[in-house]
Amino acid sequence: MPHLALYTFGVLKSPLADPAPLTSEFYDIGGAVYRKISQHPGYLARAEAADDERGAFFEADWGAWGEFAVPTWYGKGRTLETISLATTLSLWTDLRPAFDAIYTGLHREALNRRYDWFERTGHPNYVFWWVSDGVIPTWRDGVSRMEHLHVHGSASYAFTFHNSFAPDGTPTRVKGIGPKSDQVH
């Protein structure tokens, strides 16, 4: 059975190393959000670095998730002192569990504050795609899908909640998501 891959990417207003209260607050709440998300039904796994050093994205060993990569439009720092990004790569059983985990509870509270922490870039901040059972998506896969979404819009190759696709490539809707929210996937 296929699994749903999710890549998220945001450009922070200040580097993770910045001691300002907002940066610290964002980083501190991230741990609690990850713990809650990982307990949500439908969550399968996420990319985690072998060494969990704050901001060590580019140097980290990501194992099967591959070498770390970012979209071409990210123009901020790449060192521990200057890196200004937040990103995730995860696997889910389906759209509904991902939607429920993202838009409820602690993660929803964090989303309500996203513009305190993140720049508005004009680029997508998340993208979905389907992978075969047993396949671990890579960071490069996520970047490729996000860049495709930005240029071409939603398609079965790269999509959003509001314009989503089933594993067979047909457009789909999940109740409560998107313009025709009365339909059920």
How far lies 132's CA from each of 18, 46, 119, in Å? 40, 16, 34
d(CA 15, CA 35): 23
Q: How would you classify the pairing of strands 126-131 and 164-165?
A: unpaired
- Render each residue's pLDDT in the chain as its tens digit; 185 residues: 999 999 999 999 999 888 888 878 888 888 899 899 999 999 999 999 987 666 789 989 999 999 999 999 999 989 888 999 999 999 999 999 999 999 999 999 999 999 999 999 999 999 999 999 999 999 999 999 999 999 999 999 999 999 999 999 999 988 777 554 444 44
For the chain, the structural domain boundaries read 3-172
Domain 3-172 has CATH 3.30.300.160: no
Question: Does the pTM exceed 0.85?
Answer: yes
Cβ–Cβ under 8 Å, residues 177 and 103: no
Bridge partner list, 83: 77
